[in-house]
Amino acid sequence: MNNNCIWCNITESEKKYLLVNSRYWNVFLADKQDYIGRCILVLKRHCESLAQLNGEEWAELKSLVEKLEVVITKSLGANMFNWSCLMNDFYKSETPNPHLHIHVRPRYNSPITINGKTYNDEEYAHHYDNHKQNKLTESEKETIYNLIKEVLDV
Protein backbone atom coordinates (compact mmCIF):
# COMPACT_ATOMS: atom_id res chain seq x y z
CA MET A 1 0.00 0.00 0.00
CA ASN A 2 1.43 3.30 -1.12
CA ASN A 3 -0.27 6.50 0.03
CA ASN A 4 0.47 8.41 -3.15
CA CYS A 5 -0.69 5.76 -5.58
CA ILE A 6 -4.07 5.93 -7.31
CA TRP A 7 -4.31 2.15 -7.64
CA CYS A 8 -3.48 1.55 -3.98
CA ASN A 9 -6.24 3.97 -3.00
CA ILE A 10 -9.02 2.85 -5.29
CA THR A 11 -12.40 3.24 -3.63
CA GLU A 12 -15.29 0.79 -3.59
CA SER A 13 -17.33 3.08 -5.84
CA GLU A 14 -14.53 2.93 -8.44
CA LYS A 15 -14.88 -0.84 -8.53
CA LYS A 16 -18.16 -0.82 -10.44
CA TYR A 17 -16.57 -2.57 -13.41
CA LEU A 18 -14.50 -5.09 -11.44
CA LEU A 19 -14.66 -8.39 -13.33
CA VAL A 20 -12.24 -10.60 -11.41
CA ASN A 21 -11.04 -10.32 -7.84
CA SER A 22 -8.38 -13.02 -7.50
CA ARG A 23 -5.76 -13.48 -4.82
CA TYR A 24 -3.17 -11.09 -6.28
CA TRP A 25 -4.95 -9.27 -9.10
CA ASN A 26 -8.04 -7.21 -9.86
CA VAL A 27 -9.34 -7.21 -13.42
CA PHE A 28 -11.51 -4.28 -14.50
CA LEU A 29 -13.36 -3.57 -17.70
CA ALA A 30 -11.36 -0.50 -18.83
CA ASP A 31 -12.94 2.94 -18.67
CA LYS A 32 -11.90 3.57 -22.26
CA GLN A 33 -13.68 1.06 -24.50
CA ASP A 34 -11.74 1.94 -27.67
CA TYR A 35 -11.50 -1.79 -28.31
CA ILE A 36 -14.64 -3.58 -27.16
CA GLY A 37 -14.04 -5.58 -24.00
CA ARG A 38 -10.72 -3.90 -23.24
CA CYS A 39 -9.64 -4.80 -19.70
CA ILE A 40 -6.96 -3.78 -17.26
CA LEU A 41 -5.31 -6.22 -14.85
CA VAL A 42 -4.08 -4.44 -11.74
CA LEU A 43 -1.78 -6.06 -9.19
CA LYS A 44 -3.19 -5.62 -5.68
CA ARG A 45 0.29 -5.01 -4.25
CA HIS A 46 2.24 -1.83 -5.07
CA CYS A 47 4.98 -3.08 -7.41
CA GLU A 48 6.99 -1.15 -9.98
CA SER A 49 7.56 -3.51 -12.87
CA LEU A 50 6.90 -6.86 -14.48
CA ALA A 51 10.37 -7.99 -13.42
CA GLN A 52 9.47 -7.44 -9.76
CA LEU A 53 6.42 -9.71 -9.69
CA ASN A 54 6.94 -12.66 -7.37
CA GLY A 55 6.42 -16.28 -8.46
CA GLU A 56 2.85 -16.58 -7.19
CA GLU A 57 1.76 -13.31 -8.79
CA TRP A 58 3.34 -14.40 -12.09
CA ALA A 59 1.63 -17.81 -11.95
CA GLU A 60 -1.76 -16.25 -11.22
CA LEU A 61 -1.26 -13.81 -14.10
CA LYS A 62 -0.95 -16.78 -16.46
CA SER A 63 -4.25 -18.25 -15.27
CA LEU A 64 -5.91 -14.85 -15.76
CA VAL A 65 -4.53 -14.54 -19.30
CA GLU A 66 -6.04 -17.94 -20.11
CA LYS A 67 -9.35 -17.17 -18.43
CA LEU A 68 -9.78 -13.76 -20.08
CA GLU A 69 -8.92 -15.02 -23.56
CA VAL A 70 -11.45 -17.86 -23.27
CA VAL A 71 -14.18 -15.76 -21.67
CA ILE A 72 -13.92 -12.75 -24.00
CA THR A 73 -13.82 -15.03 -27.02
CA LYS A 74 -16.98 -16.79 -25.84
CA SER A 75 -18.88 -13.72 -24.64
CA LEU A 76 -17.96 -11.13 -27.29
CA GLY A 77 -16.49 -13.10 -30.19
CA ALA A 78 -12.97 -11.69 -30.09
CA ASN A 79 -10.57 -13.78 -32.13
CA MET A 80 -7.19 -12.57 -30.88
CA PHE A 81 -5.77 -10.33 -28.16
CA ASN A 82 -3.18 -7.58 -27.77
CA TRP A 83 -1.41 -7.66 -24.40
CA SER A 84 0.80 -4.86 -23.11
CA CYS A 85 2.55 -3.70 -19.98
CA LEU A 86 3.73 -0.15 -20.62
CA MET A 87 3.55 2.04 -17.46
CA ASN A 88 4.54 5.19 -19.37
CA ASP A 89 2.11 7.63 -17.75
CA PHE A 90 3.66 7.20 -14.31
CA TYR A 91 6.98 8.47 -15.67
CA LYS A 92 5.53 11.88 -16.50
CA SER A 93 6.03 12.65 -12.82
CA GLU A 94 9.38 13.89 -11.52
CA THR A 95 9.10 11.23 -8.81
CA PRO A 96 7.55 8.24 -10.63
CA ASN A 97 5.60 5.90 -8.41
CA PRO A 98 4.47 3.18 -10.85
CA HIS A 99 1.93 0.53 -9.93
CA LEU A 100 1.98 -2.55 -12.11
CA HIS A 101 -0.94 -3.02 -14.50
CA ILE A 102 -1.45 -4.81 -17.80
CA HIS A 103 -3.73 -3.93 -20.69
CA VAL A 104 -5.59 -6.40 -22.87
CA ARG A 105 -7.34 -5.28 -26.02
CA PRO A 106 -9.56 -7.92 -27.64
CA ARG A 107 -9.48 -7.73 -31.43
CA TYR A 108 -12.23 -8.74 -33.86
CA ASN A 109 -12.22 -9.94 -37.44
CA SER A 110 -16.02 -9.64 -37.59
CA PRO A 111 -18.42 -6.87 -36.55
CA ILE A 112 -19.78 -7.02 -33.01
CA THR A 113 -23.34 -5.92 -32.22
CA ILE A 114 -24.23 -4.47 -28.80
CA ASN A 115 -27.75 -3.34 -27.96
CA GLY A 116 -28.53 -3.23 -31.69
CA LYS A 117 -25.50 -1.08 -32.59
CA THR A 118 -22.68 -2.57 -34.66
CA TYR A 119 -18.97 -1.94 -34.07
CA ASN A 120 -16.01 -2.79 -36.28
CA ASP A 121 -12.39 -3.23 -35.33
CA GLU A 122 -11.16 -0.90 -38.06
CA GLU A 123 -7.49 -1.65 -37.36
CA TYR A 124 -7.85 -5.44 -37.17
CA ALA A 125 -4.54 -7.19 -37.98
CA HIS A 126 -2.72 -3.89 -37.44
CA HIS A 127 -1.32 -2.25 -34.33
CA TYR A 128 -4.05 -0.83 -32.13
CA ASP A 129 -4.68 2.89 -32.55
CA ASN A 130 -3.51 4.48 -29.32
CA HIS A 131 -5.43 7.68 -30.04
CA LYS A 132 -8.75 5.97 -30.63
CA GLN A 133 -11.59 7.30 -28.53
CA ASN A 134 -13.97 5.41 -26.29
CA LYS A 135 -16.73 3.92 -28.48
CA LEU A 136 -19.35 2.91 -25.91
CA THR A 137 -22.05 4.74 -24.00
CA GLU A 138 -22.33 3.96 -20.30
CA SER A 139 -25.24 1.61 -20.89
CA GLU A 140 -23.38 -0.25 -23.65
CA LYS A 141 -20.42 -0.58 -21.30
CA GLU A 142 -22.74 -2.10 -18.71
CA THR A 143 -24.00 -4.55 -21.32
CA ILE A 144 -20.44 -5.59 -22.19
CA TYR A 145 -19.61 -5.97 -18.50
CA ASN A 146 -22.65 -8.18 -17.95
CA LEU A 147 -21.91 -10.30 -21.03
CA ILE A 148 -18.35 -10.97 -19.85
CA LYS A 149 -19.40 -11.48 -16.22
CA GLU A 150 -22.07 -13.99 -17.20
CA VAL A 151 -19.50 -16.26 -18.89
CA LEU A 152 -16.90 -15.66 -16.16
CA ASP A 153 -19.25 -16.77 -13.43
CA VAL A 154 -20.30 -20.04 -15.08
Instruction: Provide the binding-site residues for a copy of itself, judged by CB under 8 A.
Output: 49-51, 53, 55, 58-59, 62, 65-66, 69-70, 79-89, 91-92, 96, 98, 107, 109, 124-128, 130
What is the closest distance, in whole angstroms, from the C-beta atom of residue 21 to a copy of itself in the complex?
20
Residue 96 CB, shortest distance to a copy of itself, in Å, is 8
53 vs 140, which CB is nearer to a copy of itself?
53
Return all residues near 82 (Cβ < 8 A) that are at least 6 apart. 35, 103, 104, 105, 107, 128
- Minimum Å gap between C-beta 80 and a copy of itself is 6
What separation in angstroms does the CA of 106 have from each of 28, 33, 38? 14, 10, 6
| Residue nearer to a copy of itself on the CB measure, 55 or 116 | 55
- Measured between alpha carbons, how far is 46 from 98 in angstroms, rounded to an integer? 8
Task: Tell which residue, 26, 128, 25, has the closest CA to residue 81.
Answer: 128
Whichever of 2 and 52 has its CB closer to a copy of itself, that residue is 52
Helix, strand, or coil (residue 42): strand
